[in-house]
A = this chain, B = another copy of it.
């Protein structure tokens, strides 16, 4: 990873170092490694795939922060905040090109296809979210499509590429694909639940999704459960926030109202149940593997996704 986050051009190098120094939890390469080792010993292909997928993830975060106008990433200024949108776009592109190079070195056509499909899905997922994710009328089905493309496909690709890199059987590949996708859904839903939690000490402030116009599962379900008139009122309030035509004080008041609406109709609890359902399916997907420390770690990752407090 260290070797790959290098560039000849000085500014490019500085920006890559900045990103590398704020590397986060690196869950995705962990998934690649665990899924490979669960099938067969980790190979050189596994390591390259792990680095490639983490770089693809980081490249997409750099671009997403531009797209979402998010000023911070992992508690620090985002690349586009620290430098500019221009530098962020080009750095993301540079990293994507590195990803192609890494995947080329893996010399496995399936892994190449996994990464190519993933790249399309990630950008489509963000586009989908731009298109109707920011609507007070989004329904659960569309929400699930967005988070599937935006988050779950990346976890799925990590699991599948890991398995593939270690020469898995088709049955193992399918099981780990499924596990990865479901783990990703759990992660994203948990993130979305956080937005309605009281844990202000999280990296990101609560209600930040809605402040950015993103309507997620807890609110979607509360809107579905509430009487039509009340839902209508809340939608109007949400739209006022999204239009950004409100004063900061008014925005705070509206966000508080929407939050207590969600809690009153137990939208957050519904999301928890949904997540637990996915966890159960993910555990079942792993049942074809006999017990091992890798399998235990993958199960522990599921627990972590659901129970983490940040």
Contact = CB atoms under 8 A, between A and B. Distances in A.
Interface of A: 7-12, 60, 63, 66-68, 85-87, 89-94, 96-98, 100-101, 103-104, 107, 109, 112-113, 115-120, 122-124, 126-128, 130-131
Report copies per complex.
2
Contacts of A87: 127, 130
Nearest to A60: B93
A101 B116 CA distance: 5
A100 B115 contact: yes
B131 A11 contact: yes
Given A9-B127, A12-B124, A130-B90, A100 B101 contact: no
Given A104-B113, A124-B7, A119 B93 contact: yes
A11 B127 CA distance: 7
Nearest to A56: B97
B94 A113 contact: no
Contacts of A104: 109, 112-113, 116
Contacts of A130: 11, 86-87, 90
B126 A97 contact: no
Contacts of A100: 100, 103, 112, 115-116, 119
A93 B90 contact: no
Contacts of A98: 116, 120
B66 A94 contact: no
A7 B112 CA distance: 19
A116 B131 contact: no
Which of A63, A89, A92, A126 has the most chain B CB within a 10 Å cutoff?
A89
